[in-house]
Amino acid sequence: MHLLAPYALEAHLSPLLTAPPPVLVLGGGWGIHFPNDLSTNLAIGLRLAHFLAGITWVGLGYFFVLVGARWLRDLDAGVRRQAAPPLMQAAMWWFRWSSVVTVLAGLGLWMMEVGADHRAAGEVHSNLIWSYFVLWTLAYIIYMGILMIPTDLFQRGPILAVVTAGLVIVTSWLFLRVNSHGWETNRVLAIGIGGGIGWFMMFNVWGIIWRFQKRLIRWTAEGTMPPEAARMARLASLAARTNAWLSLPMLFFMGAASHYPLFGGLG
């Protein structure tokens, strides 16, 4: 299937939506016009889902790093056993699924932007979609492999921060180089980087944070902590802090897509 097939959906269905847009008349010559074309209504729906889920995801991530970890650590063991499991089960449910909704809704919006720019440029060839998935997935696989090495070297916060920053910078550079044909706009390139970081962060939620937290929650409720619990807690904490720091460049590039022209015309 052609990679740009999703973008053709609006072109096939929009002729069916030819009725005049509904208007709410307020008087005095003022009115509210509700668009009835598919792409506009789909975009606003995806945007709202992206915003609401993103606020939930990033907000809970900040809570875990800035408040939750210290609060749980300072609790009496008996209180922790009673209070932590139900709280963390509920919080982690919202945390992990809001990450999925945020990324999928954002991808839908971005693909619509890529398709519009692609058609406007009259181009046939585009590397944006495949390079996004391949490069950012590969970056996460490398990160996870390094973090899971059975040595304490890469489980030190500053060292892991340098490694992660290097991975993100190199991946961003490769993404820009692969997509340097000249027709790619600042918007699609900036979101390709910011959204790619979000893709990386979502994998971190499911691949490390939730993977280990669900075991720690169960062991806390049972009142038994096996020897591997300390390492799992450390890895989950490092991954959560990685996501908190990565949210800063992610949000920057999302904002830069519309408000800070950095890229475009690289070819």
Query: Considering just the CA atoms, what is the radius of gyration of the chain in Å?
Result: 22
- Angle of helix 229-259 versus helix 128-147 axis, rounded to 10: 150
Mean pLDDT, rounded, for 94-115: 96
pLDDT band at 30 (very low <50, low <70, confident <90, very high): low
Look up residue 166 and give its two tokens.
């290097």
Burial of 227 (0-12, 13-18, 19+ CB in 10 A): exposed
List pLDDT tens digits, range 230-264. 999 999 999 999 999 999 999 999 999 999 998 87
Cα(134)–Cα(12) distance, rounded to whole angstroms?
29
Nearest to 176 by CA among 112, 248, 106, 127: 127
The pTM of the full predicted model, rounded to 2 decimals, is: 0.85
Higher pLDDT among residues 264 and 69, named by residue: 69
Res 10 pLDDT > 90: no
Per-residue model confidence (pLDDT) at position 13: 47
Look up residue 37 and give its two tokens.
């074309």
Mean pLDDT, rounded, for 103-123: 89
Q: Is 4 helix (H, G, I), strand (E, B) or coil?
A: coil
Look up residue 211 and give its two tokens.
């993977």
Residue 173 half-sphere exposure, CB side, CA atoms within 13 Å? 6
Query: For residue 178, how far is the Cα from the chain centroid?
Result: 21
Residue 149 is classified by DSSP as S
Residue with tokens 């979101």: 191
Mean pLDDT, rounded, for 209-222: 92
Which residues share a beta bridge with 25? 31
* CB distance 195 to 135 below 8 Å: no
Residue 206 identity (one-letter amino acid): W
28-32, 147-151, 220-224: least confident range: 28-32
Per-residue model confidence (pLDDT) at position 68: 81
